[in-house]
């Protein structure tokens, strides 16, 4: 309320407040909702990528053990390094990245075409033929060795994978997972290792 003097009298005059209008409060609410929505989307995306990387890492570990078992079994029945290498590479195809040969992965599509390439690859008799038949982006980061002791064939497989989000967060908070005991070939990659042993049948009929 405001007051005004009229002669000897003082009268109260209702004051007029300036209204901000309905759009001002509505705009504030919509801006707040937009910020909240963006925060929710960011949290969901971070959770999705964390879950994706965690799943990729778990599947890689599983397949790496499978590949080590393939290499150990191949050695146990007398296959040489070339055939062991082909066998464990095939076992890691799902986590080996983009197919480079043949033709950058464009000429063959579908499961049937992939299986036909794998069969042809396993029948190759030299590395030259094998590399010209089938090759994947991360096969060059794969290596293995086999030792024979106590009547067992022990295969150790090493494979480098991109450093995943869970490992980055672990390093950030000081809970870093242990490496495979080796230095990665370049920053941003993590070396993994798996070992598998089976009974060395080949020693009964082959001279090691």
**CA 188, 159, 172: angle at the middle one, nearest 5?**
35
- 5-31, pLDDT tens digit by residue? 555 555 555 555 555 555 555 656 778
Longest dimension (CA), the chain: 129
Q: Partners of 192 in the beta sheet? A: 159
What is the pTM assigned to this prediction?
0.75
The residue extents of the domains of the chain are: 23-97+137-204, 100-136
Dihedral (Cα; 161, 165, 166, 172), 10-degree rounding: 110
Q: Between these two residues, 109 and 18, which has the higher pLDDT value?
A: 109
Per the prediction, the chain carries an average pLDDT of 83
pLDDT tens by residue, 56-89: 999 999 999 999 999 999 999 999 999 999 999 9
φ/ψ of residue 181, rounded to 5? 85, 10
d(CA 128, CA 58): 33
Q: Which residue has the higher pLDDT, 166 or 49?
A: 49
Q: What phi and psi values does residue 22 have, to the nearest 5 degrees?
A: -70, -25
Cα 63 to Cα 69: distance, rounded to the nearest angstrom: 10
Sign of the Cα pseudo-torsion (88, 91, 97, 101, in order): positive
């Amino acid at each position: 309320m405001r007051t005004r003097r009229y002669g000897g009298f003082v009268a109260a005059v209702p004051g007029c407040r300036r209204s901000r209008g309905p759009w001002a409060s509505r705009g504030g609410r919509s801006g707040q909702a937009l910020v909240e929505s963006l925060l929710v989307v960011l949290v969901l995306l971070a959770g999705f990528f964390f879950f994706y990387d965690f799943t990729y890492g778990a599947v890689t570990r599983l397949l790496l053990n499978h590949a080590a078992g393939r290499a150990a079994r191949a050695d146990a029945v007398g296959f040489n390094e070339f055939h062991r290498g082909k066998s464990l590479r095939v076992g890691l195809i799902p986590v080996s990245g983009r197919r480079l040969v043949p033709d950058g992965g464009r000429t063959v599509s579908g499961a049937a075409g992939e299986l036909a390439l794998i069969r042809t690859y396993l029948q190759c008799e030299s590395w030259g033929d094998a590399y010209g038949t089938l090759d994947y982006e991360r096969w060059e980061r794969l290596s293995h060795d086999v030792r024979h002791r106590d009547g067992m064939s022990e295969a150790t497989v090493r494979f480098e994978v991109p450093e995943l989000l869970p490992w980055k967060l672990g390093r950030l908070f000081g809970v870093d997972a242990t490496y495979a005991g080796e230095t990665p070939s370049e920053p941003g990659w993590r070396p993994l290792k798996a070992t598998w042993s089976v009974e060395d049948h080949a020693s009964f009929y082959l001279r090691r």
